[in-house]
Structure 1
Amino acid sequence: MMVRKAPDCQSIVQYLNYFDIMSCILKIDTPAVEILVMCAFICCVLIYVQITAIIVATYLTPVMKILSVKMHMNEYLAGITLLAFANSFPDMISNLLPIRAQSALYTRTISNCLVIVLLCGGMVCFLKPFKMDGHSTVRDLLFLLMAVELMSYIIHYDDRVSNIESIFLLIVYIIYLIIQVTDLILMRRTIRKLRTEITALRQQPISPARNEKLRNKMAILIDLESNEVMSIRKQDAHFMLHKRSSRLSSSSNIFSTSGRKFERGDVDYVSTRIVLHNKNNTKNQFLWNEFFEKFNPIYGKNWGMLNRCDRIILIARAPLVIITRMIVPEVNYELYKHGWSKLLNCMQIVTTPFFVITAVTSNFSKLYLTWRLSFNMRFACYSMIVTVPAAVFIFFDTRTDIPPPYHFIYICLNAASSFVIVFVCAAEIEVLTTIVGVVFDLSGNLMDITFGALINAILDMLAIYTMTMAGYEKMAFAAIFAGPFFSIIVGMGVPLYFNKKAHQPGSAHFLYGELGDNCYIFMMITVYSTLMWTLTLNFYSRRSVGIYCWVLLFIFLLYAFSIEAKLIHGFGKDPYFPPR
């Protein structure tokens, strides 16, 4: 009963009160039972990661592609804005949680950024070697370097962080966005100018000087046009099959970079919208068939071509797929009818706002019924006054063979529900990893820079892997540097503004943490070495670079565990008390 009455136990938990589950329901009284419960908690972490993977791959990634095309972005700008924000927003929210009020925020954030750059950056270089945009990559690395140095200076300047310094960090991020958008505008202006000059050169008499000049301008134009706009590309089902067969057939090319390119054509999303439309069909033709097909977790999968392991994974994921399907509407221009399912989408008009409002209001109310949060459905019920008539109107207004003109509105529901689910999963993972670390007598700093950073990087890696294998490796690589920049500048600036304890003198001690110097030094090594290999390789990524990133990550983790085991001394200074 003491667990239920202690305010600290309820302040750090989210939707499930794991302390109540451990002490009052399971009544752990032996170390063996405690270890079994911790294993169950680790399984819960894996389930939360799997839910996040489903949300990112099935719902968020297609929406980010659509928004990038509709907003006339190129891959690079989409990566540093949409993808970076989607990856880093849960980190910022978790930094606002009460459990992080007196945590080593600097150590946690820098270690997260370090692991993301090394793990995800190495993955992109290993899976899809490509030619990156040189000046954009260097600019992002320098901005990331500035963010690390600026945050270190602010924390140590007067031994605390003020509101003015937090606002200054947000201004820095606004300046960063202005520079990126201005760069895209100038690039497109240069493209238009080059096209005009090339047209004029082609009308001149043929000469060696004219041909050389024309050839140089066309080379520059082709290079710029490859980064001008973003399109929705077709998924290549044979790509992963080729990668798998090549790994099985030969192990000698693991460290080599293949020169073979896999070109994907662009999706004609106008055709995919109307491909099944026929005016002679009834408005509700195949209404129930397509509804049940959407809920079939193996629909569209070539079951006969899957091996036993893939089938087991597919069956294990089935309940999670069905649950997310009920809540999150799918908008995907690569699918027939853009993922439109009349009956399901009409149902989601009611269920999605109900879920989002209930999850948000319940989290703010913080009223617990023993082991779980009390669901506050008052405002969610009020939403049905609007959503139920809207669902009825959409049902009678739409057809089953073509999405309505206002199908784009479902993107708002998709984004809201996806971010809420990702936040819930990230918050529960945060609490569970903290509990596991306490039970196994691991320090909070070690948990933050090892297990916490790895789990956070895995969540980001899901989105980056999906984008990379879909042919958007430039977008993914841009987000690898822009995401950490967002996490340091905004992801720390906003929580530090609202954290009153960070404004007190001496708060720099707990903000920086015992392993802050370790994270800072390895972050500097990562940024400078990335600058070196990009300039050395003329901005061509290599598989060997991916291996190097993973080795550097292993060394960082090895240092962290060695310091925890007191085998070596950390880079930080020991506390010194002058004699009196």
Structure 2
Amino acid sequence: MKISNLSLFLYESTNFLALAFQCRDFHKLDNITDICDFVNQTASCAIDEGFITYTSFIYCYFSTELLPLAVFILLIWWLLLFIGLAVTADDFFCPALTVISKTLGLSVTFLAFGNGAPDIFSAIAAIGNAKNGDAGLAMGALLGAGVFVTTVVAGVIAIICPFDAMQRPFLRDVIFYLAAVFWTFYILWKKEITKYESIGFIGLYVVYVLVVVVGRYIYQKSRGQPAPPVTVVTQNTITDERRPLLNTDQKLPAYVDSTVSVEYQPYSSISHFFSSLNPIDSAAWQKSSCFGKIYHIFKSPAVFMLKLTIPVVDYDVENHNWCRYLNALHLTTGPMFAIFSTKCKYYNLRLKYIFNVYPVWAIILPIGLLLTLSVILSSKHHPQPIYHPLFAYLGFLVAVIWIYCIANEVVNILQTFGIVFDISNAILGLTFLAWGNSVGDLIADTAMARQGYPRMGISACFGGPLFNLLLGIGIPFTIGTIKQGGSYKINLTLEEYVLAGFLGFSLVSSLLIVSLSKFRMSRGWGVYLMILYVVFLVIAILAETGVINAQV
């Protein structure tokens, strides 16, 4: 039934009716002008996190005929944001964690957090932007990525390189993952999560960590080998080739040729400044194919902004990536970016004034400039100053803010696509967001298999999603339950149950098949997993379109 102009007039005139409408109701309007007014004045169309109202962008700045162009522009912007998210995590966030772990004497394996940072921050953003408890995007992304990695990625590895799995690590990871999935299904079934239940997800990960550490210690002792340094997660549990952060003795080759690292050369500080700020690495550019050069150009705006605001301390580069003028400038640009970009309802970081008199930026700016001048006067072009590792802490904080801001925009665009095409958040989460967050795992894990390390790749297929699920639910819902007074009501659709059910089924079937095959990861098992994922997508789409219907 179409919404009449009278009802639209009443809607525009009363807050009561405005609250009664959902943003998707604009599909019932014929006039594009009415839709523009609708999305601008409907409460559910407003964004709590983020900087761009994408529904207004589409329906107020483009005519009906140009709607495909608007969607195409958003799609390109979404791809750029996803690239920025990956670059920030890999080339800025993870190196900062490496330095922090070494300076504080922490185990480097705590840096598994860097591996799952995009997934976790996307979940935080999705829960923060959820309307009326609609956690479908977060649940869809976490569970959908789990289904994709444990079926498609694991299946591809088994097809490429059949091998015999290590029994205890495989059983440990799958059993803990099953426990996490069943607990998630219980939360979905009762449609509510309490503060202590969300903290329990984090606690379960701590238990998993202890089991890994103790098991590794006992295994080494039983073989008469010296016990290794106590680690949180072994290398072949939660890691991949892109982020080999789980071994203190391991080099980080992924960062040596990255766009961030700049090897020391004896030229002037000014030349070094512009070279360090260059978003396109000259050596990587020369080695790149035509497609690779297009990719470098495409991501260069994001890399430039990241380099301008985030200092990177890299122990694998001569001079530890120290650039006198650029690092000094970071003491101003980093805090200023943090002040103007933080817009978080949970933490209320966007403080405009202190004592309702002094603007925060007017206080931070002179302090930053003073610190910048101090670093320039107290340091040299070479060698790096003794306080250089402290820049990693600033880099960590600014990188976290960048990741969170980008994740918010990624989530907001996906929600806009859902509104435009009338697709549920759960479907968007289990497809676009899950695929985007998992494509790196597919590339890295299959590359490890081709290089003769299929055990490492298959372990990442179960350990990585387990980490993401436990902390991706635990951290966002802990924040959400505290914000809402102790519990969080979850509004669900059939798709979330399909997700959890299929993930549990795939894990149980893999556990049985692999165990009965004497832990042989065969091509037949890989083909089975690929077929299982296709069946999962078909059932999820049928549930979305209403062909399969059930009361939830």
The amino acid of 2:501's aligned partner reads I
Q: 2:142 touches 2:468 (CA, 8 Å); kept in 1?
A: no
CA displacement 1:415-442 (0-9 Å, x = unmatched): 2222222211211111111111221222
Number of residue pairs matched by the alignment? 484
**Equivalent residue, structure 2, for 1:90:** 121
Q: Shift in Å at residue 100 of structure 1?
A: 4.5
**Equivalent residue, structure 1, for 2:330:** 348
**Equivalent residue, structure 2, for 1:393:** 374
Structure 1: where are the runs of 5+ without partners?
A: 197-222, 240-271, 368-376, 576-580
1:479-494 correspondence to structure 2 within 5 Å: 479-494=464-479
**Equivalent residue, structure 2, for 1:19:** 55
The 1:164–1:302 alpha-carbon spacing in structure 2 relative to 1, beyond 3 Å, is closer
The amino acid of 1:148's aligned partner reads V
Identity %: 17
**Equivalent residue, structure 2, for 1:408:** 389
Distance, in Å, in 1 between the alignment partners of 2:303 and 2:323 is 16
1:143-162 correspondence to structure 2 within 5 Å: 143-156=176-189, 160-162=192-194
Match of 2:204 among 155, 164, 172: 172
Q: Which moved more, 1:451-460 or 1:464-473?
A: 464-473
**Equivalent residue, structure 1, for 2:319:** 337
The 1:13–1:355 alpha-carbon spacing in structure 2 relative to 1, beyond 3 Å, is closer
**Equivalent residue, structure 1, for 2:506:** 526
Structure 2: where are the runs of 5+ without partners?
A: 1-36, 228-235, 237-244, 351-357
**Equivalent residue, structure 2, for 1:287:** 269
**Equivalent residue, structure 2, for 1:320:** 302
Aligned pair 1:495/2:480, yes or no?
yes
Aligned pair 1:9/2:9, yes or no?
no
Distance, in Å, in 1 between the alignment partners of 2:194 and 2:154 is 34
What is the DSSP-based 3-state SS (H/G/I as helix, E as strand, rest coil) of the residue aligned with 2:311?
coil
The 1:562–1:498 alpha-carbon spacing in structure 2 relative to 1, beyond 3 Å, is same
The 1:388–1:184 alpha-carbon spacing in structure 2 relative to 1, beyond 3 Å, is farther
**Equivalent residue, structure 1, for 2:537:** 557
Q: In angstroms, what is the RMSD of aligned CA positions?
A: 4.3
1:129-278 correspondence to structure 2 within 5 Å: 134-156=167-189, 160-183=192-215, 186=218, 194-195=225-226, 229-233=247-251, 235=253
CA displacement 1:72-98 (0-9 Å, x = unmatched): 7778x446x434552443034124314
Q: 2:200 touches 2:474 (CA, 8 Å); kept in 1?
A: no
The amino acid of 1:569's aligned partner reads I
**Equivalent residue, structure 1, for 2:429:** 448
**Equivalent residue, structure 1, for 2:281:** 299
Q: Shift in Å at residue 297 of structure 1?
A: 3.1
What is the DSSP-based 3-state SS (H/G/I as helix, E as strand, rest coil) of the residue aligned with 1:329?
coil
Distance, in Å, in 2 between the alignment partners of 1:383 and 1:546 is 55
Q: Which moved more, 1:355-364 or 1:46-55?
A: 355-364
Distance, in Å, in 1 between the alignment partners of 2:94 and 2:438 is 17
Distance, in Å, in 2 between the alignment partners of 1:561 and 1:92 is 22
**Equivalent residue, structure 1, for 2:359:** 378
Distance, in Å, in 1 between the alignment partners of 2:439 and 2:313 is 24
CA displacement 1:125-152 (0-9 Å, x = unmatched): 6789888754233222211111121232
The 1:96–1:344 alpha-carbon spacing in structure 2 relative to 1, beyond 3 Å, is same
Q: Shift in Å at residue 15 of structure 1?
A: 0.9
Higher relative contact order (CA 8 A, sep 6+): 1
Q: Shift in Å at residue 347 of structure 1?
A: 0.6
Q: 2:122 touches 2:408 (CA, 8 Å); kept in 1?
A: no
The amino acid of 1:135's aligned partner reads R
Aligned pair 1:569/2:545, yes or no?
no
Q: 1:173 touches 1:490 (CA, 8 Å); kept in 2?
A: no
**Equivalent residue, structure 2, for 1:251:** none
The amino acid of 1:165's aligned partner reads E
Q: Shift in Å at residue 528 of structure 1?
A: 2.1
1:496-511 correspondence to structure 2 within 5 Å: 496-499=481-484, 507=489, 510-511=491-492
**Equivalent residue, structure 2, for 1:265:** none
Q: Shift in Å at residue 345 of structure 1?
A: 0.7
The amino acid of 2:422's aligned partner reads D
Distance, in Å, in 2 between the alignment partners of 1:340 and 1:325 is 13
What is the DSSP-based 3-state SS (H/G/I as helix, E as strand, rest coil) of the residue aligned with 1:290?
helix
Aligned pair 1:417/2:398, yes or no?
yes
Q: Which moved more, 1:461-470 or 1:394-403?
A: 461-470
Q: 1:52 touches 1:459 (CA, 8 Å); kept in 2?
A: no
CA displacement 1:13-58 (0-9 Å, x = unmatched): 621122332344x1x442x312221111111101101211221332
**Equivalent residue, structure 1, for 2:72:** 39
The 1:481–1:378 alpha-carbon spacing in structure 2 relative to 1, beyond 3 Å, is same
What is the DSSP-based 3-state SS (H/G/I as helix, E as strand, rest coil) of the residue aligned with 2:175?
helix
Aligned pair 1:515/2:551, yes or no?
no
Please report the TM-score for the alignment, with normalisation by the length of structure 1. Answer: 0.70
**Equivalent residue, structure 2, for 1:52:** 85
CA displacement 1:399-456 (0-9 Å, x = unmatched): 2222222222122122222222221121111111111122122233322332333234
Q: 2:124 touches 2:472 (CA, 8 Å); kept in 1?
A: no
The amino acid of 1:552's aligned partner reads L
The 1:231–1:475 alpha-carbon spacing in structure 2 relative to 1, beyond 3 Å, is farther
Distance, in Å, in 2 between the alignment partners of 1:531 and 1:74 is 31
The amino acid of 1:14's aligned partner reads G
Q: 2:145 touches 2:438 (CA, 8 Å); kept in 1?
A: yes
Match of 1:309 among 291, 295, 307: 291
The 1:55–1:546 alpha-carbon spacing in structure 2 relative to 1, beyond 3 Å, is farther
Q: Shift in Å at residue 346 of structure 1?
A: 0.7
Q: 2:81 touches 2:406 (CA, 8 Å); kept in 1?
A: yes
Q: Shift in Å at residue 120 of structure 1?
A: 5.2
Q: Which moved more, 1:381-390 or 1:428-437?
A: 381-390
**Equivalent residue, structure 2, for 1:205:** none
The amino acid of 1:344's aligned partner reads L
Q: 2:192 touches 2:487 (CA, 8 Å); kept in 1?
A: yes
**Equivalent residue, structure 2, for 1:202:** none
Q: 1:140 touches 1:482 (CA, 8 Å); kept in 2?
A: no
Distance, in Å, in 1 between the alignment partners of 2:383 and 2:104 is 24
Distance, in Å, in 2 between the alignment partners of 1:450 and 1:308 is 29
CA displacement 1:311-367 (0-9 Å, x = unmatched): 222222222221211011122222222221111111111111211232115777799
Q: Mark the structure with the bigger radius of gyration.
A: 1
What is the DSSP-based 3-state SS (H/G/I as helix, E as strand, rest coil) of the residue aligned with 1:161?
strand
The amino acid of 1:137's aligned partner reads F
Distance, in Å, in 2 between the alignment partners of 1:311 and 1:290 is 23
Distance, in Å, in 1 between the alignment partners of 2:114 and 2:246 is 18
The 1:91–1:444 alpha-carbon spacing in structure 2 relative to 1, beyond 3 Å, is closer
1:454-493 correspondence to structure 2 within 5 Å: 454-458=435-439, 476-477=460-461, 478-493=463-478
Q: Shift in Å at residue 231 of structure 1?
A: 2.3
Q: 2:308 touches 2:330 (CA, 8 Å); kept in 1?
A: yes
Q: 1:188 touches 1:228 (CA, 8 Å); kept in 2?
A: no
